[in-house]
Amino acid sequence: MVDTKVNLSGVELDNPVIPASGTFGYGYEFAELYDINILGSFSFKGTTLQPRFGNPTPRIAECSEGMINSVGLQNPGVDKVISEEIPKMAKCFNKPVVANVSGFSLDEYAQVVRRLDSVPQIGIFEVNISCPNVHNGGMSFGTDPKNAADVVKRVKAETNKPVYVKLTPNVTDITEIAVACEAAGADGLSLINTLLGMRIDLKTKKPVIANKMGGFSGPAIFPVALQMVYKVYEKVNIPIIGMGGISSAEDVIEMMLAGATAVEVGAANLVNPYASRDIINDLERVMKKYNIERLCDIIGGAH
């Protein structure tokens, strides 16, 4: 019998598969299709201090081996997430969840985490630092080591739960940001967030997405994500949740060999709502094929 258990900063998961934020709602939508307790955990929809309607439509563009989205952090705001969404989530999922949080200032990040901290089902905070810093000319928190470190420090002051930082790949050197986050006290890292992409409609001769550009995800970005996880693993001593184009059990093994302790499955859930379940169900077969008895033993095995 193979062992698929992994440990993220003291939070033990039955397996390393975590549906990514923004692709799995609050879980209960998928619970109508299958028992989502098969999952290691899941990262619920990105939460901000105030409700957000999101970006103008169209927000989605198809492309070869992937998709581009510019949803714009649409969510009901932290208070409604606590009062309405989490109670519904708790009825269908009985394991610790990952809370993905966003903010447009240091104070917003702190307030969101402060309010969510008392929710018992939240096991890990995943801090999305790809948001523009409204007090710093709109530059993303995640593109500057000092800004990234400042977010980590503020969030860590609000909670004793593990804080993982979700890193953007749209930087010159992602390891520089990773090292800064670790030095500021981050318990772990999630990478990568989406790449930047766009499509142009040949009939209208204009960008397909109303915001012109959006986040590119899907199988096409897997090799990019893999090399970034590999490089970051060699620079830090904290766990990594790897993501970016994962769509099979083989991808999970490959990402763990690069240095990930767990993985997040994103765009695949939007193409096939059973994707995460199917990956988990296939893990034992793939582990046996490659003579792997315990998944935790292969983390960073390619180094």
Which positions are annotated as active-site residues?
131
Q: What is the C-alpha separation between 128 and 21, in angstroms, rounded?
A: 10
Pull the structure tokens for residue 87: 């109670």
Tell whether the torsion through CA atoms of 58, 61, 67 and 70 is positive or negative. Answer: negative
Position 279, amino acid: I
Q: What is the C-alpha separation between 155 and 151, in angstroms, rounded?
A: 6
201 and 268 Cβ atoms separated by less than 8 Å: no
| Count of residues in the chain | 303
Q: What is the C-alpha separation between 30 and 20, in angstroms, rounded?
A: 13
127 and 120 Cβ atoms separated by less than 8 Å: no
Pure H helices in 64-173:
78-80, 86-90, 106-116, 145-156
Closest CA to 122 of 84, 156, 155, 96: 96
CA-to-CA separations, 193 to 41, 93, 129, 189, 278, in angstroms, rounded:
18, 25, 10, 11, 23
47 and 162 Cβ atoms separated by less than 8 Å: no
